[in-house]
Structure 1
Amino acid sequence: MDTEAQHTERDPSSPADPPTDPAPDDGSRSVRVSEEPEEDPDTGSGRDPSGPSWRRTGLLGAACVVFLLLLSHFVAQPFLIPSGSMEPTLQVGDRIMVNKLAYRFGSEPRRGDVVVFDGTGSFVQEEPAGDPVTGLLHDTAAALGLAAPDETDFVKRVVGIGGDRVVCCDGTGRITVNGARVQEPYLTPGDRPSDVPFDIVVPPGTLWVMGDHRSQSSDSRDHLGSPGGGVVPVDRVVGRADWTVWPFGRWTTVTETDAYDSVPAPPAGGHPTGPRGRGHG
């Protein structure tokens, strides 16, 4: 009888000791969870997928800019006030919000409204186009209220509308519109209504505009001898300045004026043409 122990070969992949039966799960065992973060499918890195990726952040930022540009183009646009021609109503550095819907549905500017308009062809002449990339960047910044408006954009107060006869000045030194004397409480203290005499019948579809700081404003008076005759076509009006939104200490609405409430409508047959006044430089 062979008593030599038989050598049994084992599979090297098998455990040295036979596995034991797992203890029954009574719900008290802890389960080890891997602490390694899942791979981000967007970046391929092990970032937490719940955190925003640069791609999503960029797309969100671009969408916000596009939304603001559409809003400023069709509804309301911020404008930076670059000069003191409308003081004290608007100060240098103010950012105003221009309501582009004010005249969009058949309404037209009224006497006393503060409006922003494109002065091309009336206050300034057409100029050759510059660098398109620089122009696009500037226009985008201006549309968001981050840069001064184009040199062709102006903000003034409507003094006369189509058909009105605007004269300066009567015996008391005040402007008259259709023969009615206008008391202008919005003028800069110490300013006279105008140092330049004029007598103008405003053509239909146009506006006679002036700044509130008359001694510092280049307005319709300065362009009487220009091709546009000093008046601004209504279709060049961008919108009505309704709010001052910056700085926060000046956050307010642009107050409406009752200075023109007593001005009568122009006569049906029109005014006799008065002598054209001279502008100042």
Structure 2
Amino acid sequence: MIDANKPLSIAEIKKVLQTITDPSDERLDAFRLDSRKGALTALNSWERKIEKQQLKEMKLQEMLVYEKRAWSHGKKLVAGIDEVGRGPLAGPVVSAAVILPKDFNVIGINDSKQLSLAKREELFEVIQSEALAIGIGIKDTTVIDQVNIYEASKLAMIEAVEQLEVQPDHLLIDAMKLPLSFPQESIIKGDAKSVSIAAASIIAKVTRDRMMEEYDSIYPGYGFSKNAGYGTKEHLNGLDQLGVTPIHRHSFAPVREAYRQQHSSL
């Protein structure tokens, strides 16, 4: 129990700081007058933590601009749409459509490429639990090779919208226009500008990464669980030594060349 008549120990100050979230809390003034190095270090650490939190909160509000504008015009179900997997040599392209509630207030949502694996997994679960609706679209290598990766990405996005349990009344799309009747906005680098698109990028990324982990157990030797199908040295070595698998994209030059080498030696 803390004795109010004697100075707090550094450990006690740290404990109190853990309970303070308001920068105007009067206890902070007393800590600022404490000349002990440990007290100042603890206070500086707390201030940096609060500053980071405030920046994240500001970022969230910035990323809600497109959603708020749509809501202010009477739109109630705004879907953010994004895809992952355009660049890999193997695996599907995966898209997600996410409709978030107006009171969505989760700090840390961002472009999935900017997040650590652990953070993506954490936010994936949060989005799954809080979203009003989530749709997933997947186009495999057969489709990619038939229509090209750009068109396959578009088809995956359309499928994601169609898979939503509720019909959206406005679409926010990362750098793409879709042949759908819904009002829509194409936003360049939308996964860093719209929280709904960023949420979709997280859902799509985690979904695809998990698929590639499963493929790694089916087709070992390419490093799919680590490289998600991108053309890393391990992956290219696997192509040279093991050949082309059913999930490789023949329309991509390194795969096409590996397939030609594989069959010319038979």
Category of TM-score, reference length = shorter chain: under 0.3
Normalized per residue, the structure richer in strand is: 1
Structure with bigger gyration radius: 1
Structure 1 length normalisation: TM-score?
0.27
Normalized per residue, the structure richer in helix is: 2
Structure 2 length normalisation: TM-score?
0.28
